Structure 1
């Protein structure tokens, strides 16, 4: 598989052209066949990439230093992961609720059973706001109706519905001044902006920041750089798209050797390496032949730099252990 990966990369990329004629080299960081790789999050304390395989029901922790990938099996589909401020803990969104997982013992503890009774939905992407609250959204399994929601969950497991009428809740980020939150409901093809109040952890004043051109794919997971520019994985778009949310402009695209690009996160010692997750699902036979590396984690060295992601702030970890 590694020889195949090398050959494909040599043929595919050596240079991906952007609007500015910039040359960008995309490489395989970890070659694998994840069914639905997602949820990229850089743990800047341990210098590891946290990511998930939703359909594979797996939490992954990848160390670029030794190129090792630790896998923790989950009892159901896992939508997202964010490290907890406490060492060796992470918060995960499973099908029946939100849990704390010990990344050493692999034990799960229930934090919130929100939406456990809504069988037509499952949890999808999520991230923490600047104060350490988890914002996590659900998605309608049939992907046909806006029956899902976006929740804010604090460290004690209290869940508050922040948005409804969602179909596929996806990327979510905050600006460096903590005043704006950007959010994606994938089928809308739009990135919306909200005023964020970091005192009350609430949002208001919804507006459209970016309208994605359908020919570029569907907006999926998202990260933000130090200049508050957005980087979005494009489902059905084989690329990461870089947008200016102030103007709605597409700055550039980074072509990735996978049809479905799902999420990205800035990592590395200087936060200038973009890690990219992909999926091996939802491809035609022709696309499978064209993108044999689909499902792998990719990386690209950039001149842009990211910001440190907010960890989940959970002062109360004495929750009930899952049976």
Structure 2
């Protein structure tokens, strides 16, 4: 017996036929809007440069005179000097936590921020000479990050060991040991850089998720007109150490973010992203003979067992070759550069 094929009403046939086309048109329209609205973020991938298990690698600084990378392990209480040419890393044991390092204008010297003050150090012998006792009377704090301004003064910030809010400060320290409080009520003082025309300073207090901009007077070290230059989306991670390129664009390491991100501080826009095979990325510095290699430090702390398995090189040094160049970092002391 023949059975007639049951036909749908014409209106329903049109509906069924049109739905896939409608979805396709919607997809194209949405994709087109996203293309117009979302910024085009350039992607890079960092590679392992030197395998090590630093606890809290930090403070990356390229010594352009010796072609070496200075960096620290805060919790491991070590100053490191890495040579990319020989792939060797020389370490100096410190008597306490070391928050940052900057080479000195005096050859074979550097300035370091230890837990009880600021010191000059001979990078060969490890001999220390006290510069300033700031925060020696606050044993619940330690120094975290710092860099020198264009006149060679060290700007260094602190943080509470228990990361308690608003317990830390930012200071400016001269080579003669004169220390000036520049900001109080800080939580985790971090990345700090200056533009090439010396007119603007950028600064990070990590938990705020903001990069602040200040008008900067190099003659006096005065900072004024505080404003937010960049707000980091929390989904990316927390802004940590920071460097600046020759175009005055910012490169920011992301704690809990597996990356370094590049922002335009004039617009606040994300320009590019460097994926790093480490969960907690802590600092970065342009180096190499042409200042076009970004060296990146990381931490092996504060990770779950799954994250430790996923990122076996956490705590190591990484690098990426970029199509932009950095600038020479300012040394500690009156010579500046």
TM-score (norm 1): 0.90
Distance in structure 2 (CA, Å) of the matches to 1:23 and 1:243? 13
Matched, 1:173 2:193: yes
Displacement of 1:20 in angstroms is: 4.6
Q: Which structure carries more helix by proportion?
A: 2
Cα deviation, 1:106-131, whole Å, max 9, x if unaligned, reads 10111100000012211010000000
Matched, 1:149 2:169: yes
Q: Is the 8 A contact 1:156 1:314 kept in 2?
A: no
Distance in structure 1 (CA, Å) of the matches to 2:334 and 2:79? 20
Distance in structure 2 (CA, Å) of the matches to 1:196 and 1:190? 18
243, 248, 255: which one aligns with 1:228: 248
Paired position in structure 1 for 2:268: 248
Matched, 1:140 2:183: no
Q: The residue matched to 2:235 in structure 1 has which SS?
A: helix
Q: The residue matched to 1:56 in structure 2 has which SS?
A: coil
- Greater shift after overlay, 300-309 or 26-35? 26-35
Counterparts of residues 146-225 of structure 1 (less than 5 Å)? 146-225=166-245
Distance in structure 1 (CA, Å) of the matches to 2:45 and 2:118? 37
Q: Is the 8 A contact 1:84 1:314 kept in 2?
A: no
Matched, 1:313 2:333: yes
Q: Considering only CA atoms, is the larger Rg found in Structure 1 or Structure 2? A: 2
Distance 1:220 1:22, change over 3 A: closer
| Root mean square deviation of aligned Cα | 1.1
Displacement of 1:143 in angstroms is: 1.1
Runs of 4+ residues deviating >4 angstroms: 19-23
Q: Is the 8 A contact 1:99 1:108 kept in 2?
A: yes
Q: Where does the alignment leave 5 or more consecutive residues of structure 2 unmatched?
A: 1-38
Distance 1:22 1:210, change over 3 A: closer
Distance in structure 1 (CA, Å) of the matches to 2:187 and 2:42? 36
Distance in structure 1 (CA, Å) of the matches to 2:328 and 2:41? 29
Distance in structure 2 (CA, Å) of the matches to 1:260 and 1:270? 27
Paired position in structure 1 for 2:102: 82
Matched, 1:115 2:153: no
Cα deviation, 1:266-311, whole Å, max 9, x if unaligned, reads 0000000000000000000000000000000000000010000000
Equivalent pairs counted in the alignment come to 297
TM-score (norm 2): 0.87
Paired position in structure 2 for 1:294: 314
